[in-house]
Amino acid sequence: MQPSSLRRREFVLGAALAGIGARTAMAAGEAMAYPERPIRLIVGFPAGGSADQSARRLADQMSRQLGKPIVIDNRPGASGNIAAAAAARSAADGYTLFYGTNATQAMNVSLYPRLDYDPIKDFVPIALEGKVYNVMCTHPAFRPADVPSLLSQVRASPGSLAVATPGNATSGHLSLVLLQRSARVQFTHVPYKGSAPAVTDVIGGQVPILFDNVAGTITHIRAGKLRPLAVTAARRLPLLPDVPTFEELGLRDCVMAAWGGLWAPAGTPAPIVQRLNAEMNQALATAAVVDRMRELTVEPVGGSSEAAAAFVIEETQRWRAVLHAAGIRLD
């Protein structure tokens, strides 16, 4: 090789490395300066709902840590799809975040014929925030009073027992689907438009059985208005220590949790994602946040962006199979 050619290659290589170094330094500098203005957090559900409360609780603590406000932007509709599409189209600069849920990030892709966003390609996860499990309840006067007896009755007369849920394709409905598949039984599903009317009708005796999240039922359970039979967690819940899991009762693959977390538009600089991940994990370790989450029956999660990404892929594959097998679709 000629000396001049060697020098030319050395020059090109040096320039390339310098460019990489400059871009790395620039990205690191952006992360150190970030945030310089308020951050918008898009939430795909109405103000006051469980997802909104979770997002606000997290945003309040992270705002204090970051020294800049995180402003909630509620855009309800289509099970969070409207908000997710808006977030996916936002600038990837760390100043627009999205509170994603099991619906927007893992289930809607199998429930709807078309989405205006790709839950995997259009987002980068910050971390999971928490999980909320479901509980199967009955009216206190209803017999049978335990899951094995309940299953025996419905096996003898398929479809004879009605189960209320907050609606089609909600976590309560999908918990019922998992139970029916595991136990090989058939209940009659009664979907409501939200938790409140479903709970009201079960307490009033119009429907004997309810599948809903623990957060929406715990007050009525404590008041003796609902009898809890089993929970969809992998282990017993601290708030309901005397209530068995379905797994304990010999019913496999009945674990079901609604979950949420923070996502950023794809292309957000890695140092900013890492900074937000660190702040989010710090927030989830704060006593005030943890205590409030547990009061609301939310199990804190946290962890890395990579762990959240792997979890979402696993959940997407799991629910695709369940939803397709059950023939559940939304328009």
Residues 54 and 91 in one domain: yes
Burial class (CB in 10 A: 0-12, 13-18, 19+), 159: exposed
Do 62 and 125 lie in one domain? The reply is: yes
| 157-188 pLDDT, tens digit each | 999 999 999 999 999 999 999 999 999 999 99
Whether residue 4 is contained in a domain is answered as no
Q: Where a domain ends, among 214, 231, 248?
A: 231
Confidence check: pLDDT of 20 > 70 = no
Mean pLDDT of 93-106: 97
Do 120 and 181 belong to one domain? Answer: no
Banded model confidence at residue 35, pLDDT cuts 50, 70, 90: very high
Q: Which has the closest alpha carbon to 105: 117, 93, 96?
A: 117
56 and 194 assigned to the same domain: no
217 and 200, same structural domain? Answer: yes
Mean pLDDT of the chain: 90
pLDDT in tens, 105-152: 999 999 999 999 999 999 999 999 999 999 999 999 999 899 999 999
Q: What does DSSP assign to residue 164?
A: E
Q: Domain count for the chain, please give it.
A: 2
Whether 13 maps to a domain, the answer reads no
Q: Residue 211: give its domain's CATH number.
A: 3.40.190.10
Cβ pair 44, 84 in contact under 8 A: yes
- Over range 218-230, report the average pLDDT: 96
Domain assignment present for residue 172? The answer is yes
User: Is 28 inside any structural domain?
Assistant: no
d(CA 312, CA 119) in angstroms, rounded, equals 9
Q: Which of 108-112, 151-155, 212-216, 251-255 has the lowest mean pLDDT?
A: 212-216
Instruction: Examine the domain organization and report whether 114 and 152 are in the same domain.
Output: no
Instruction: Determine, yes or no, domain membership for 11.
Output: no
pLDDT band at 30 (very low <50, low <70, confident <90, very high): low
Q: Compute the average pLDDT of residues 61-75.
A: 96
Q: Do 127 and 143 belong together in one domain?
A: no
**By residue range, what is the domain housing residue 154?**
133-231
Please state, in angstroms and rounded to a whole number, the distance separating the CA atoms of residues 328 and 110: 9
Residue 286: the pLDDT is: 94
Do β-strands 123-138 and 257-265 pair in parallel, antiparallel, or remain unpaired?
antiparallel
Residue 197 domain-assigned (yes or no): yes
Together in a domain, 142 and 123: no
81-100 average pLDDT score? 97
Asked if 113 and 153 sit in the same domain, the reply is no
Residue 251 lies in a domain: no
Mean pLDDT of 316-320: 96
Do 274 and 126 share a domain, yes or no? Answer: yes
308 and 320, same domain (yes or no): yes
Q: Quick one: 138 and 203 in the same domain?
A: yes
Give a yes or no: residue 91 inside a domain. yes
Query: Is the Cβ–Cβ distance between 79 and 244 less than 8 Å?
Result: no
301-313, pLDDT tens digit by residue?
Answer: 999 999 999 999 9
Whether the CB-CB separation of 252 and 265 falls below 8 Å is answered with no
State the pTM of this model.
Answer: 0.86
The CATH number of the domain holding residue 79 is 3.40.190.150
pLDDT above 70: percentage of residues in the chain: 90
Query: Which structure tokens are listed for 193?
Result: 């438009």
